[in-house]
Amino acid sequence: MTDASQTAVAARPLRRDAERNRKRILASAAVLFAERGVDIGLDDVARHAGVGVGTVYRRFPDRETLIDELLDEKTARVESLAREALGADDPWSGFAGFLEQALELHAEDRSLKQALLVPTRGKERLAAARARIEPLVAELATRAQDAGELRPDFRFEDLPLLVEMVAAVSDATHETEPGLWRRYARLVIDGLATSRTGPGDLGADALDREHLVDALCTSARER
Amino acid sequence: MTDASQTAVAARPLRRDAERNRKRILASAAVLFAERGVDIGLDDVARHAGVGVGTVYRRFPDRETLIDELLDEKTARVESLAREALGADDPWSGFAGFLEQALELHAEDRSLKQALLVPTRGKERLAAARARIEPLVAELATRAQDAGELRPDFRFEDLPLLVEMVAAVSDATHETEPGLWRRYARLVIDGLATSRTGPGDLGADALDREHLVDALCTSARER
DNA sequence: GTTGAAGCGGAGGCAACTCTCCGCTTGGCG
DNA sequence: CGCCAAGCGGAGAGTTGCCTCCGCTTCAAC
């Protein structure tokens, strides 16, 4: 893979001011995408970066180019998480640990879900990242199942929808109670284990009624 | 509670043609809300009902009035589900059965989630319905916990977010594989039980890769 | 310093959506 | 039947969000 600053191969380097603006745009997009997802107005990105809209659209002909460039660093973190997990001693803690860490990345960055899960998002780079990650998690799941710890009726195709589920919680509550998703992640992971006994510990407390109302209103407003 | 056709008390009855149009609007809104949620354009409702936009806005001064009127029948079904469940012999199957049936209603009707969960949606009627339902499910949960079958760290305030989670799956897949939500509902319910052993049975098969791709694209497009 | 290509900003076109307004139509009472 | 209050439809105003275009500015090569 060549240097990250040259999108097209052997493109003539940008003028100094142009390169500076390009960096600013990427930095602003990273912040805003993480916070509000990849479908925000590029006008907002331009304003945040202190450049005109025209500049954004000139540098990134469409939203997907911008996404492709921005998110491939983030997906690389998911990939290395999966590789580490494959090296873990215990197959179950490898699998469950990976899942929890991946969910943490999703909770911190809304755009990650859209980039990793939606196959039409981004361009070649993102597609390649997805293709690298998939066999890794499939292997993680198989090992945990062979060890008898992950329920046998789980299939690795379930993962995107599990992410979708927990992400629905973090989207709804990240303003009100940013760590609450862990409670529901724990619940899901408990449901994935072959067996379980005893009271368990969901970790983070449930929301009280007042905060719950806040959260549901906020998430409905955001939509 | 007085007759459903008089929104305001003692309002003079509508002219015959007006009443007919009102019914048509409600019927169309029921169909479209269930399919696409309560935030669709009221222009669409008007077109579907075969009336002009003006007619819709004259009869229902704002969206919330329409929602309030439409959804209180649906919420009544949730309420009676909860009452039935309280009469069940086994506290756990009462709780779990209620949850699964409630999730089924949510899977069939997107607007239900918005009406029941978001406290700012609708007007007095819906608020009253929410207030009636809450203590019922709290009691269901308490009984199941006292019987030692529902994990003790569950709190009934978790329910809205559990609904949110499973609804995220049905929203994503209701076009591609309408029954798939059951698989994930089962998983969550398994996670809620105090203990569980053996392979379990998630019911509906996971999506194969092709359908999964379809589902994720569709849900992203809809958003 | 001069010059032209590269780059810039933001006005404005276009599309989707919500809701209002007003001239025409119609039901039903006397 | 004749009348008019009640009702109707849909044009269009106001808004928001995406993206294009073009006249002006700036860089950097010479």
Residue A207: pLDDT above 70?
A: yes
End-to-end CA distance of chain B: 37
Are the C-beta atoms of B98 and B85 separated by less than 8 Å?
Answer: yes
Chain A stretch 84-123, residues whose beta carbon is closer than 8 A to a beta carbon of chain B? 114, 117-121
Q: Is the Cβ–Cβ distance between B176 and B215 less than 8 Å?
A: yes
Q: Average of pLDDT values for A170-184?
A: 92
Q: What's the pLDDT at B219?
A: 77
pLDDT the model gives residue B11? 63
The minimal CB distance from B158 to the residues A189, A200, A206 is found for A206
Q: What single-letter amino acid sits at B204? A: A
Q: What is the pLDDT of residue B157?
A: 92
Over the stretch A79-94, which tens digit does the pLDDT of each residue have?
999 999 999 999 999 9
pLDDT tier, A135 (very low <50, low <70, confident <90, very high otherwise): very high
A22: pLDDT strictly greater than 60:
yes
Do the Cβ atoms of B202 and A154 come within 8 Å?
yes
**Overall average pLDDT of the A36-51 stretch:** 93
What does the radius of gyration of chain B's CA atoms come to, in whole angstroms?
A: 20
Residue A11, pLDDT score: 64
Other C-beta atoms lying within 10 Å of the C-beta of residue B12: 7
Q: Using the beta-carbon criterion (under 8 Å), do A220 and B152 form an inter-chain contact?
A: no
Residue A121 DSSP symbol: S
Q: How far apart are CA A48 and CA A12, in angstroms?
A: 27
Chain A positions touching B155 (Cβ under 8 A) are 206
Query: Do the beta carbons of residue A4 and residue A68 sit within 8 Å?
Result: no
pLDDT at A6: 40
pLDDT at position B5, please? 39
> Is A136 within 8 Å of chain B by CB?
no
Give contacts of B204 with chain A, Cβ < 8 Å. none
The stretches in chain B having pLDDT less than 70 are: 1-11, 198-199, 222-223
